[in-house]
Amino acid sequence: LRVRLAGYPRKHNEGRVELFYNDEWGTICDDDFTLANAHVLCRHLGFVAATGWAHSAKYGKGVGRIWLDNVNCAGGEKSIGDCKHRGWGNSDCSHEEDAGVICKDERIPGFKDSNVIEVRKLRARAPQSQQARLCSGCGRASCSRQEELGPCPTDCAQVPSSLWVGVWIWARAGRPGAAPLQSVRAGPASGLPSLCRLFTERQQLNYRLHSVSCAGTEVHLSMCAFEFYRGNASAACGGGSPAVVSCAPGPQFATGSAHKKQQRQQQQGQPRIRLKGGAKVGEGRVEVLKGSEWGTICDDRWNLLSASVVCRELGFGSAKEALTGARMGQGTGPIHMNEVQCLGTEKSLWSCPFKNITQEDCKHTEDVAVHCNIPYMGYETLIRLSGGRSRFEGRVEVAVGAGAGEQPHWGLVCGEGWGTLEAMVACRQLGLGFANHGLQETWYWDASNVTEMVLSGVKCTGHEMSLSHCQHHGSSLNCRNTGTRFAAGVICSETASDLLLHAPLVQETAYIEDRPLHMLYCAAEENCLSSSARLANWPYGHRRLLRFSSQIHNNGRADFRPKAGRHSWVWHECH
């Protein structure tokens, strides 16, 4: 049973309850509604509990069927459908009695959101044997993947213009293996691309879709208008061929000289938008630059269209998920934008209509975030962990020398110089989130038959997608301790704390004070005074101090827990 929250105005953790039953969305009547009902619904949506419920269509009147009435839950049910009720569709209510819930703004650990658009669910996708191929040129019997697909035909098949409608969306949706930035429109009038001729194999194909018509703003091809072929699919599309797309890689996914050229272009102008707080590439809290100050965006009316503009502006595909309620951590500083309403065609978020806000309108608990579609690069197949107590920890093993058709050779990473930055990249490459620890000794994880060191001198900035992108010694291994106990290891975590000093507050509150020594015994014990204070004539005289207020924010998605457990804390009279 699918459940969603709807209505306006509302926050991400509240709204009118709507149920998807019998291929139709409908509502719940508020008759006999209780907090136990709200608990069941909120847990179904991924929240830990409910804090309240709303009656009389507080979040607006719904449309369609009223699916449930007189619902009576005990509170422990897994789904609202398991509770007692009058029966599906049996109700004497109107939509003026639609029920709503207010959920506690705390997610169930590990809960996977259902508000995700997965490319693999695309019904229009054909089997590999039916997909189009790239040819280096018309009339040449050579293919970019000749060993797999065979020689090119002697002529290039023309693709009817009617089949190219909507290809733009497919390219942007982030299909595996290609960065979704642009499409190639290759109707009879425009001819074929000059760099690569696009063609299809001369064989009977089973077509499933036709007349695909997109506005260009959709975030997924399934959201466009299209028709299914009925009857004999192999006889369909007699005068045409399968639609073909050509995608250009974004800056982070380009290789070689193209990659360096795009990096130079990026460095010439400072970006006005960035993602923060995400463990993976293409996800994070959205921050925008206004004047000289970075700020966040309030989540009122935040949706997939606006999120997709952000993703494409950063060189990714369309948005897979538009996140609200500071799901990627709370930002600091100003909140620059609210009620962003993009059409989906804008090249920059700043081109979308939005409202300027004051601090009273929004708080950082409402910061928006995005989860973008990105190309599948296969980096996670080149790294693995061994010996750990869970899949989130272990000794790092990397694959080297895996050429075409060859089996990878697995080896260890030298622990010298291995730290948190390197562990961050390893955890990201593994798809395991953030790095809790980077370990230089792993003798306690000695559970693998891999004993050879194959990588040393690894030095990362922390932003790389793979350890192979970091600096390292290459084939010239240089490791003083090559025993397995000195191999690098990691402990990863799905969430992490992220402490940030509020620097402007330090600057605003700093002042000089002359303070008598008899009031500074605690400061002396805590080593807050300079070394010359030891030579002072205690308790007479004074010291000149620089004093300021301090705030440290936790921008992360987990509580900050000091490494020293509470059992090792010491009481001190100065605190």
Structure confidence by residue, pLDDT tens digits, 396-415: 999 987 665 677 889 999 99
**Identity of the highest mean pLDDT range in 7-21, 134-148, 226-240, 254-268:** 7-21
Q: What is the 3-state secondary structure (H, E, C) of 461-497?
A: CCCCCCHHHCECCCCCCCCCCCCHHHECEEEEECCCC
Band (pLDDT 50/70/90 cuts) for residue 220 is confident
d(CA 204, CA 68): 49
* Domain 379-493: homologous superfamily in CATH: SRCR-like domain (3.10.250.10)
Instruction: Please give the pLDDT value at position 360.
Output: 64
- Report the CATH number of the 2-103 domain: 3.10.250.10
Whether pLDDT at 265 is above 90:
no
The CA dihedral of 297, 298, 302, 307, to the nearest 10 degrees, is 20
Return d(Cα 251, Cα 262) in angstroms, integer.
6
**Which stretch of 42-46, 71-75, 161-165 has the lowest confidence by average pLDDT?**
161-165
Closest CA to 68 of 23, 15, 2, 18: 18
Asked if the domains 272-373 and 379-493 are classified in one and the same CATH topology, the answer is yes
CB 76 within 8 A of CB 39: no
Enter the tokens of residue 571.
Answer: 């009481």
What kind and span of H or E run contains 411? strand 409-413
**Given this model, what pLDDT does residue 129 score?**
33
In angstroms, the CA 131 to CA 170 distance is 13
Could you give the C-alpha distances from 172 to 78, 192, 316, 465, in angstroms and in order? Answer: 37, 20, 8, 21
pLDDT at 567: 83
Residue with the larger pLDDT of the pair 461 and 149: 461
Reading the block at residue 556, the tokens are: 């992360």
Which distant-in-sequence residues (6+ apart) come within 8 Å of 137 by Cβ? 197
* CA 147/CA 472 separation, integer angstroms: 33
For 413-421, what is the mean pLDDT? 94
Average pLDDT over residues 286-291: 93
Q: What is the pLDDT of residue 119?
A: 41
Radius of gyration of the chain (CA): 29
pLDDT at 330: 87
User: Does the pLDDT at position 301 exceed 70?
Assistant: yes
**What CA–CA distance (Å, rounded) separates 2 from 19?**
6
Q: Which single residue is written with the structure tokens 């509240």?
A: 14
How would you classify the pairing of strands 225-228 and 283-290? unpaired
For residues 244 and 192, give the distance between their C-alpha atoms in angstroms, rounded to a whole number. 11
DSSP of 530-575: -GGGGGS-TTSSEEEEEE----EEE-SSS----SS-GGG----TT-
Average pLDDT in the chain:
79
How is domain 272-373 classified at the CATH fold level?
A: Mac-2 Binding Protein (3.10.250)
What is the C-alpha to C-alpha distance for residues 475 and 455, in angstroms, rounded to an integer?
8
pLDDT reading at 461 higher than 60: yes
- Give the pLDDT band (50/70/90) at residue 193: very low
Question: Which DSSP helix (H) or strand (E) runs through 395?
Answer: strand 393-400
What are the pLDDT digits (tens) for 473-510?
Answer: 988 888 988 888 999 999 999 888 888 888 889 999 99
Q: Residue 327's pLDDT is what?
A: 85
Query: In terms of DSSP H, where are the helices of 324-464?
Result: 420-430
The residues spanned by each domain of the chain are 2-103, 272-373, 379-493, 501-554
Other CB atoms within 10 Å distance of the CB of residue 405: 6
Determine contact, residues 5/15, Cβ cutoff 8 Å: yes
- What pLDDT is stored for residue 292 in this prediction? 86
Query: Rounded mean pLDDT of 131-151?
Result: 33
Of residues 141 and 314, more confidently modeled: 314
Residue 175's pLDDT is 36
User: Which whole number is the average pLDDT over 98-113?
Assistant: 84
The helix/strand/coil state of 53 is: strand
The two tokens of residue 190 are 């425009």
Highest mean pLDDT among 187-201, 206-220, 509-523: 509-523
Mean pLDDT of 243-257: 71
Q: In this model, does residue 363 exceed pLDDT 90? A: no
Asked if residue 133 has pLDDT above 70, the reply is: no
- 292: how many CB neighbours lie within 10 A of its CB? 6
Which of 26-30, 160-164, 321-325, 537-541 holds the top average pLDDT? 26-30
d(C-alpha 496, C-alpha 325), whole Å = 17
Name which of 196-205, 225-234, 548-557 the model is least confident about.
196-205
